[in-house]
């Protein structure tokens, strides 16, 4: 719980800038805090430590982790894919994949899900669809990582195959070759491999696992900007050159004006190419030599273009990109959630294409011999390299993808729909490569393996509240923590014979140079809480509230009561308020039970003040926390003070118009602070 800051006038304290403090030189007998033994995570570089410690961190007013570690589910996945290629020679190729329905079980642990599916559209049909698909998504509060590997081919259906020819005009080759419902597995293979890494800037309030892996529960609607990086490689292999060569071969005529290759002859040549390649090449050479002599005019030029086309057989696009977008979770009710995510990916694309695997490039020498032999009037002889095609380009372009989910939860049961649509696009200098694919997942799952903090032997209060109270009550509980909203939880715990695990911290302050005295109110002093950070799990009863006064007794002690839970978020709040020069004990645990700030008031008496009546000392910006590590115990900090040594801070104040020097030192391994006051 984070309270809003409020400033209160300090009657006895003058805030000084650090440059105005009286500095003591460090001596050899300076007391240094004991070094904390570093664990594996502490030895990592700072960015890695931050990632590990914030991997699943959330603001529990907006999102909480799931109550369970494990989940099983049955999922049906429907996939779609479209490929569009426009080539410089005027060829337009469009295809789509057959709809694929896959069914199978999945097994998950927190943010990871694994599973296997079977394509139900091919069961009992004996079809071998050369399709290989692998996707892995890792969803945490901090990051989303998508790994993609798709290999498709035999399940493509031709949608469009057009060619703009000088003589014949715009040809619909799909109709000409009766490829309307043809299996394109022998003509096209498509592959896509990539990785995308996204970071959610507002990850404390927006929960990506709540929408896409059921690893968390979103309590309030929230969104987050998305930034990330990624890399994809798309490769399209086509036999378009072979299709055009077959058309050109069927247009060759002999000396008698009859076509040299009819359907029967074409089938014979295909069989011969598999049984006797040498004889096939000799037959093909004779047909080309005879037909080439009879190619005249614009029609002959068109047929030559069909036969010697330089269409690419392999096109590869490498894409390095950044990702910019926004995600938002809409909470309709405690059980129903809608998640939306849209990302644009501007990046640099490197495109390479060649026709090395086409029959034109492989038979280049045959075409050279025939053309140089028949076309005797050519000024220059053709060479084999004239039939090879190379294309290379680097260009800036933008991709996009969309994700959406609808999740319904009921106790341990989960059901929902996930959709994902991606558009990988490149267009430059007459070359267009566009690959769009999407999938729709429908699932039903069951969660088990309750996390330790939600088990009956642990802290069941929060789990019970989340399962029984309305969304409005949950929001009120997280905002104000009034005790009236948790009476049901307390009654439930009482029925189980469980009580909240609270502990009491006794903070002791020893005064040097003077002594404590009773003030007009009959008190020795008090600490008034004005700000702080305590998560609901650390203070389920709401005992720490803004405006609460913790009384200081005659021994200089005041007590703070809080739960045993600790969190990184509390430590992050503390570090955002104070730097290491404003804290008496500079080494402290990153996980804190609580972090509080407010006004410390003490009544003092002594010859130092030249007064028979007690004087009032007020420190407006007094901070205190309690760490997880028992060696650290707790820390004291003051924003207007500065460091004197590793275990003390110091500053100045006005009491009854007189300037005094104050030094606060924390003893090692003890919940005691020594406050030394001296006149200046």
Tell me the average confidence (pLDDT) per consecutive run of 10 residues in the chain, 680 residues long.
Answer: 35 32 29 46 71 74 81 86 77 79 77 69 56 73 84 72 72 67 64 90 89 83 94 85 78 81 81 83 84 80 79 88 95 90 92 85 83 80 85 87 91 89 79 83 88 56 45 42 38 40 79 87 90 73 82 89 75 83 73 87 86 86 78 75 79 82 77 81
Name 181's Cβ contacts closer than 8 Å, sequence gap at least 6.
157
Same domain, 514 and 469: no
Alpha-carbon Rg for the chain in angstroms:
38
Nearest to 662 by CA among 611, 621, 626, 612: 621
Same domain, 381 and 477: no
Same domain, 634 and 492: no
Is 625:592 a contact under the CB 8 Å cutoff? yes
d(CA 159, CA 157): 6
Same domain, 663 and 570: yes
In a domain, residue 94? The reply is: yes
d(CA 532, CA 58): 17
Same domain, 39 and 149: no
Same domain, 163 and 212: yes
In a domain, residue 276? The reply is: no
Task: Indicate the number of domains in the chain.
Answer: 3
Same domain, 102 and 193: yes
In a domain, residue 274? The reply is: no
Write out the two tokens for 570. 């509390």
In a domain, residue 285? The reply is: no
d(CA 253, CA 260): 5
Same domain, 134 and 241: yes
In a domain, residue 12? The reply is: no
User: Kind and range of the H or E element at 60?
Assistant: none
pLDDT value of residue 497: 38
Is 29 buried (19+), middle (13-18) or exposed (0-12) by CB count in 10 A?
A: exposed
Contacts 24+ apart (CB under 8 A), 178-186: 181/157, 182/157, 182/158, 183/154, 183/156, 183/157, 184/95, 184/153, 184/154, 184/156, 184/157, 184/158, 185/129, 185/130, 185/153, 185/154, 185/155, 185/156, 186/239
- What CATH number is associated with residue 143? 2.40.128
Same domain, 371 and 512: no
Task: Give the number of C-alpha atoms closer than 13 A to the C-alpha of residue 231, restricted to the C-beta side.
Answer: 2
Chosen domain end from 469, 496, 523: 496
- Give the range of the structural domain holding residue 621, as residue numbers without chain letter: 18-60+502-679
Same domain, 601 and 646: yes
Same domain, 524 and 643: yes
Same domain, 122 and 205: yes
pLDDT value of residue 677: 86
pLDDT value of residue 197: 92
In a domain, residue 413? The reply is: yes
In a domain, residue 262? The reply is: no
């Amino acid at each position: 719980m984070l309270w809003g800051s409020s400033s209160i006038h300090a009657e006895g304290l003058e805030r000084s800038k650090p440059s105005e403090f009286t500095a003591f030189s460090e001596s050899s007998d300076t007391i240094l805090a004991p070094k904390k033994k570093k664990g594996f995570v502490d030895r990592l570089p700072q960015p890695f430590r931050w990632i590990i410690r914030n991997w699943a961190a959330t603001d529990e007013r907006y999102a909480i982790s799931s109550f369970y570690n494990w989940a099983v589910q049955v999922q049906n996945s429907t996939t779609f894919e479209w490929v569009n290629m426009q080539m410089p020679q005027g060829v337009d190729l469009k295809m789509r994949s057959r709809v694929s329905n896959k069914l199978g079980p999945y097994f998950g642990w927190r943010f990871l899900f694994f599973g296997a599916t079977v394509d139900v559209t091919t069961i009992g049909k004996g079809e071998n669809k050369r399709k290989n698909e692998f996707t892995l998504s890792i969803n945490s509060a901090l990051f989303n990582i998508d790994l993609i590997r798709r290999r498709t081919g035999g399940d493509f259906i031709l949608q469009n195959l057009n060619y703009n020819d000088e003589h014949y005009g715009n040809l619909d080759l799909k109709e000409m070759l009766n490829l309307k419902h043809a299996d394109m597995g022998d003509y096209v293979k498509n592959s896509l491999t990539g990785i995308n890494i996204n970071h959610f800037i507002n990850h404390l309030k927006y929960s990506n696992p709540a929408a896409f892996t059921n690893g968390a529960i979103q309590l309030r609607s929230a969104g987050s900007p998305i930034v990330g990086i990624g890399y994809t490689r798309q490769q399209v292999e086509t036999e378009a050159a072979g299709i055009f060569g077959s058309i050109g071969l069927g247009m060759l005529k002999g000396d008698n004006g009859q076509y040299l290759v009819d359907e029967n002859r074409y089938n014979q040549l295909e069989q011969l190419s598999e049984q006797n390649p040498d004889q096939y090449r000799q037959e093909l050479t004779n047909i080309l030599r005879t037909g080439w002599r009879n190619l005249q005019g614009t029609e002959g030029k068109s047929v030559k273009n069909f036969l010697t086309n330089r269409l690419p057989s392999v096109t590869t696009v490498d894409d390095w990109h950044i990702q910019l977008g926004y995600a938002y979770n809409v909470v309709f009710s405690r059980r129903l959630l809608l998640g939306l995510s849209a990302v644009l990916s501007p990046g640099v694309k490197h495109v390479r294409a060649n026709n090395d695997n086409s029959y034109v490039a492989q038979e280049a020498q045959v075409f050279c011999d025939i053309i140089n032999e028949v076309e005797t009037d050519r000024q220059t002889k053709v060479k084999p390299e004239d039939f090879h095609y190379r294309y290379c380009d680097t260009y800036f372009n933008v991709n996009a993808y969309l994700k959406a989910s609808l999740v319904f939860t009921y106790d341990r049961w989960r059901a929902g729909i996930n959709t994902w649509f991606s558009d990988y696009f490149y267009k430059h200098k007459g070359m267009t490569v566009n690959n769009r694919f999407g999938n729709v997942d429908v699932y039903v799952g069951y969660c088990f393996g309750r996390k330790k903090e939600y088990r009956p032997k642990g802290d069941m209060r929060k789990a019970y509240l989340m399962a029984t109270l309305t969304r409005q009550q949950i929001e009120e509980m997280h905002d104000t923590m009034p005790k009236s909203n948790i009476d049901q939880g307390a009654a439930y715990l009482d029925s189980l014979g469980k009580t909240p695990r609270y502990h009491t911290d006794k903070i002791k302050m020893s005064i040097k140079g003077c002594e404590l005295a009773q003030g007009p109110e009959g008190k020795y002093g008090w600490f008034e809480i004005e700000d702080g950070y305590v998560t609901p799990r650390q203070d389920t009863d709401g005992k720490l509230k803004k405006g609460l006064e913790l009384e200081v007794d005659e021994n200089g002690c005041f007590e703070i009561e809080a739960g045993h839970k600790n969190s990184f978020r509390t430590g992050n709040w503390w570090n955002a308020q104070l730097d290491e020069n404003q804290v008496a004990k500079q080494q402290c645990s990153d996980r804190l039970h609580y972090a509080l700030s407010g006004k410390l008031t003490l009544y003092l008496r002594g010859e130092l003040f030249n007064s028979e009546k007690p004087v009032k000392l007020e420190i407006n910006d007094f901070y205190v926390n309690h760490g997880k590590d028992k060696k650290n115990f707790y820390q004291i900090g003051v924003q207007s003070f500065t460091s004197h040594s590793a275990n003390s801070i110091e500053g100045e104040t006005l009491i009854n118009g007189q300037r005094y020097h104050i030094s606060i030192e924390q003893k090692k391994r003890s919940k005691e602070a020594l406050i030394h006051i001296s006149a200046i």
